[in-house]
Amino acid sequence: MSQGTQPYVALDRVAKVYPSPRGDVEALSDIDLEMAPGAFVSVVGPSGCGKSTLMKCLAGLVPITSGKIDINGHKLDGPPDAMGIVFQRDVLLDWRTILDNVLLQAELLRLPRADYRERAMQLLARFGLEGFEDRHPWELSGGMRQRAAICRALLCDPELLLMDEPFGALDAMTRDDLNVELTRIWQGSNKTVLFITHSIVESVYLSDRVVMMSRGPGRIVEVIDIDLPRPRPLAIRETPAFGAYVHQIRHHFAELGILKE
Partner 1 sequence: MSFWRKHLMGESRTRDVLLVLAALVAIWELGVWYYEPPKIFLPPPSAILAEFLTTPGLFIRHMGYTLWTTLLAFAVSVALGIALAVAIVYSRLLERTIYTLLVALNSVPKVALAPLFVIWLGTGMEPKIAVAVMLALFPIVIDTVLGLRSVDPDMVNLARAARASQLQILAKIRFPNALPSLFAGMKVAISFALVGAIVGEFVAGGNGLGFLVLVAQGQFDTTRVFVSLVLLGLMGTALFYAIDFAERLMLPWHVSQRGEGGSQHGG
Nearer to partner 1, 195 or 245 (CB): 195
Q: Measure Cα distances from 23 to 61, 63, 121, 192 in Å.
A: 23, 19, 50, 36
Element (H, E) at 35: strand 25-35
Among 91, 234, 241, 254, binds partner 1 (CB under 8 A): 91
Task: Tell me the C-alpha distance between 80 and 161, whole Å.
Answer: 11
* 53-61, 181-189, 194-202, 233-241 -> range binding partner 1 (CB under 8 A): 53-61
Residues 237 and 259: their CA atoms lie apart, in Å, by: 20
Task: Tell whether residue 119 is a contact of partner 1 (CB under 8 A).
Answer: no
User: Among 79, 128, 231, 243, which residue sits at the site for partner 1 (rule: CB under 8 A)?
Assistant: 79
Gap between the Cα atoms of 54 and 43, Å rounded: 9
- C-alpha to C-alpha distance for 23 and 14, rounded to whole angstroms: 20
User: Any idea how long the chain is?
Assistant: 261
Q: Is the dihedral of CA 77, 81, 87, 91 positive or negative?
A: positive
Strand, helix or coil for residue 202: helix
199: left (phi over 0), alpha (psi -120 to 50) or beta: beta
Asked if 47 touches partner 1 (CB under 8 A), the answer is no
Whole-number minimum distance, CB 224 to partner 1, in Å?
Answer: 28
Residue 13 CB, nearest approach to partner 1 (Å) = 24
Check residue 136 for interaction with partner 1 (CB under 8 A): yes
Kindly state whether residue 74 participates in binding partner 1, applying the rule CB under 8 A: no
Measured in degrees and rounded to the nearest 5, phi and psi for residue 6 equal -70, 130
Nearer Cβ to partner 1 (78/233): 78
User: Strand 25-35 vs strand 74-75: parallel, antiparallel, or unpaired?
Assistant: unpaired
Contact between 63 and partner 1 per CB under 8 A: no
Task: Please tell me whether the peptide bond between 46 and the residue prior to it is cis, using omega within 30 degrees of 0.
Answer: no
**Of residues 145-174, which lie at the interface with partner 1 (CB under 8 A)?**
none
Smaller CB distance to partner 1: residue 61 or 241? 61
List 5, 18, 77, 93, residue binding partner 1 (CB under 8 A): 93
Closest to partner 1 by CB, 107 vs 225, is 107
Residue whose CB is less far from partner 1, 90 or 202: 90
| Closer CB to partner 1, 154 or 226, in the complex | 154
> How many residues form the binding site for partner 1 (CB under 8 A)?
22
Applying CB under 8 A, the span of 34-42, 65-73, 77-85, 121-129 interacting with partner 1 comes to 77-85
Positions touching partner 1 (CB under 8 A) are 56, 59-61, 78-79, 83, 85, 87-89, 91, 93-95, 104-105, 107-109, 136, 138
